[in-house]
């Protein structure tokens, strides 16, 4: 199946989603912030990143931007943004990803989005620098 990286500072969310994706046959790794997520990306490129927006050290949009600017293959990895922020559609638009989901989410909603992102494999294309 697919290699999926979950980057979320909420350990419960990451663990539950990770366990379900593992049960579905995917190879899953997790990180608690964008900086750690970037380190895992460089160690092994995933097929998909599920990325929280608000995290310490490096936010989700900042991590997505870092993936894009280094032009080393990470810019081709699709990103699903997940967050409870009110303006998630706008943030997803800035990141340039068509894949986003508001928290709390139902697995009945998340799992089809994961399959869609893996099938379409549309990478993000930021509209402007999102880094600090």
Number of domains present in the structure of the chain? 1
Q: What angle do CA 47, 86, 56 make, to 5 degrees?
A: 60
The SS3 of residue 113 is helix
Residue 127 is predicted with a pLDDT of 72
The answer, yes or no, to whether residue 72 has pLDDT greater than 80, is no
Residue of 30, 9, 10, 8 lying closest to 19 (CA atoms): 30
The answer, yes or no, to whether residue 66 has pLDDT greater than 50, is yes
Residue 59 is predicted with a pLDDT of 93
Residue 73 is predicted with a pLDDT of 74
Q: What is the mean pLDDT of the chain?
A: 91
pTM: 0.92
Give domain status of residue 125, yes or no: no
**Position 132 confidence tier, pLDDT thresholds 50, 70, 90:** very low
DSSP per position, 37-70: HHHHHHHS--SEEEEESS-SSS-HHHHHHHHHHT
User: Which runs of consecutive H residues, i.e. helices, occur in 72-120?
Assistant: 88-95, 107-120
CATH number, position 27 = 3.40.50.2300
Give domain status of residue 129, yes or no: no
The answer, yes or no, to whether residue 35 has pLDDT greater than 50, is yes
The answer, yes or no, to whether residue 74 has pLDDT greater than 50, is yes
Q: Which domain holds residue 43?
A: 3-120
Higher-confidence position of 70 and 103: 103
Higher-confidence position of 5 and 127: 5
Give domain status of residue 8, yes or no: yes
Helix axis angle for 11-23 and 107-120, nearest 10°, is 60
Non-local CB neighbours of 23 within 8 Å, separated by 6+ positions: none
Mean pLDDT of the 72-89 span: 91
Neighbours of 93 (CB within 10 A): 14
The helix (H) or strand (E) run that includes residue 34 is helix 34-43
Sheet holding 79-83, edge to edge: 27-31, 3-7, 48-52, 79-83, 99-102
The answer, yes or no, to whether residue 56 has pLDDT greater than 60, is yes
Give domain status of residue 87, yes or no: yes
């Amino acid at each position: 199946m697919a290699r999926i990286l979950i980057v979320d500072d909420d350990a419960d969310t990451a663990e539950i989603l990770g366990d379900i994706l593992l049960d579905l046959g995917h190879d899953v790794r997790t990180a608690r912030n964008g900086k750690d997520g970037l380190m895992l990306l460089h160690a092994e490129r995933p097929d998909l990143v599920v990325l929280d927006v608000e995290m310490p050290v490096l936010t989700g949009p900042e991590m997505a931007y870092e993936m894009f600017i280094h032009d080393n293959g990470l810019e081709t990895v699709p990103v699903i943004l997940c967050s409870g922020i009110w303006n998630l559609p706008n943030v997803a638009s800035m990141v340039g990803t068509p894949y986003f989901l508001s928290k709390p989410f139902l697995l009945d909603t998340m799992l089809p989005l994961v399959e869609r992102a893996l099938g379409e494999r549309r990478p993000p294309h930021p509209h402007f620098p999102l880094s600090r």
